[in-house]
Amino acid sequence: MRQRIAVVGGGPAGLTFARVLHHHDHPVTVLERDPAPDARPPGGTLDLHEGMGQLALAKAGLLAEFQALSRPEGQAMRILDVDGTVLRDWPARPDDRAHPEIDRGQLRDLLLGPLDVQWGRGVAEVVPGTGDGVLVRFADGREETFDLVVGADGAWSRVRRAVSPATPHYTGITLVETSLDDVDTRHPGLARLVGDGSVAVYGVNRAFVAQRNSGGHVKVYAQFRAPLDWHAGLDWADAEAVRSSLLTLYDGWTAPVLDFLHHGTAFVHRPLYVLPVAHTWAHVPGVTLLGDAAHLMPPLGWARTSRCWEAPNSPRPSPPPPASWTRPSVPSRNACGHGPPGGGRWRRPVWNASSARTLARPSPSSTRFSRPDQQPRPSKTLQRVIGLAYSSVCTMRPFFHA
Ligand SMILES: Cc1cc2nc3c(=O)[nH]c(=O)nc-3n(C[C@H](O)[C@H](O)[C@H](O)COP(=O)(O)OP(=O)(O)OC[C@H]3O[C@@H](n4cnc5c(N)ncnc54)[C@H](O)[C@@H]3O)c2cc1C
């Protein structure tokens, strides 16, 4: 008899897992809370790594289609200091398939394919151990029973409660997302700076990342250490108020960073939460977890190369500033709640017209380190999420062969 399998959540992890099952002739139903695939913006760009996310897609029979859609050139990455100096510049080789980028919307559409997805079916509760299997109770009060329920319902998973008491906690780091459209035509200088991939700027306790998506769209993430209520009194519907608050936070940073914020069209608040790194749970027959529901991590892999998240009580405190450095007129402590004694963070005499010209040049030549192709690459997050989808398939193999 065929097992009744439900995947709760139609994000990248749930859809990938469902496509792997489908590819191996296991019927599966995806239960998704959103009323339709395009009910909300799909988000930015994701990189899928060889041997991880790409392996999962291969197991779903989708690798060739992914390779046709993805952007190897999106692996290019540039890292700047807050004064605009280019610290690292990784160009992307066209034949490099290590971790090409793909728009989330394109990945979702690729994964959806022939899947049986039931839209508008928010799950309220999962009750294992009923005589007939695992009971799924929906937000609208309806109920249905399955043999296996896979919780791929993200950070605030309802399924997780059936197997684990863990809840996400705030990392102390918040992202504010904005975006620019038609960047090559409307903002050619910023387009050149982002190049085909990403540009990241790292300061102390704050950073800034801009990533090219397809179709001339650029997603921008202002990232900073802040208490959860840092935005008290800020009206998120008032884009100009949010913009002004961010411009204050990044006051003194290199001009292109401020330009990205000036031209951003709407702002989305994304405080980052995590589950305990070693989150595990005792086996509960018929229920398991996948993706962020199981292993929620911050999307900050690239920050390991930087000093960005150094806390004021860090065991390795910042060196004292050179005598020529100045204190900023706007102290960062107001926004971030952290900073060197006395208020704002120290900074160099910063941006000037010549550093802006350096940044806007088609190929920056001021890298301070070894040749780009000798430099280590940054790592990112989704490889682990979809890699977990794949490893969960392996873990659950006994279930299907039972
Ligand atoms: C700001 C930000 C930027 C990021 N950038 C990157 C990046 O550049 N690269 C990268 O690799 N990773 C990135 N990540 C991480 C990545 O987005 C997640 O790891 C990934 O989306 C997790 O996929 P998932 O399918 O497990 O969960 P989700 O993507 O959260 O999907 C969960 C799905 O479940 C649905 N759902 C939720 N609750 C219910 C319910 N009760 N019933 C039914 N359905 C439900 C949701 O509607 C959603 O469709 C970023 C994360 C954030 C927050």
Taking residues 332-348, what's their average pLDDT?
29
Is the pLDDT confidence value at 200 over 80? yes
Taking residues 126-140, what's their average pLDDT?
95
- Mind listing the pLDDT tens digit for each residue in 31-44? 999 999 999 999 99
Is the pLDDT confidence value at 89 over 70? yes
Is the pLDDT confidence value at 371 over 50? no
Give the residue, by CA position, lying nearest to ligand 1 atom 15: 299
Give the residue, by CA position, lying nearest to ligand 1 atom 1: 270
Is the pLDDT confidence value at 378 over 90? no
| Sequence spans of domains, the chain | 5-48+100-168+275-297+381-401, 76-96+169-274+300-378
Residue type, 245: S
388 φ/ψ angles, rounded to the nearest 5 degrees: -70, -35
Is the pLDDT confidence value at 336 over 70? no
Query: Which mutation among 47, 140, 377, 385 tests ligand 1's pocket best, with the greatest number of atoms within 8 A of CB?
Result: 385
Give the residue, by CA position, lying nearest to ligand 1 atom 39: 153
Ligand 1 contact via 252 beta carbon (within 6 Å): no
Taking residues 48-72, what's their average pLDDT?
96
Between 160 and 360, name the one with better pLDDT: 160
d(C-alpha 154, C-alpha 26), whole Å: 23
What's residue 299's pLDDT? 85
What's residue 261's pLDDT? 98
- Nearby residues of 327 by Cβ (< 8 Å), 6 or more positions away: 342, 343, 344, 346, 347
Q: Which of 61-65, 109-113, 211-215, 313-317 has the lowest mean pLDDT?
A: 313-317
Superfamily of domain 5-48+100-168+275-297+381-401: FAD/NAD(P)-binding domain (3.50.50.60)
Percent of the chain with pLDDT over 90: 70
Is the pTM above the cut of 0.75?
yes
What's residue 278's pLDDT? 87
- Mind listing the pLDDT tens digit for each residue in 258-289? 999 999 999 999 999 999 988 999 999 999 99
Dihedral angle over CA of 363, 366, 367, 370, nearest 10: 100
What's residue 95's pLDDT? 86
Q: Which is the closest atom of ligand 1 to the Cα of 121?
A: 43
Is 162 in contact with 174 (CB distance < 8 Å)?
Answer: no
Query: Which mutation among 57, 179, 292, 392 tests ligand 1's pocket best, with the greatest number of atoms within 8 A of CB?
Result: 292
Q: Which of 11-20, 184-193, 302-311, 389-398 has the lowest mean pLDDT?
A: 302-311
d(C-alpha 101, C-alpha 299), whole Å: 15
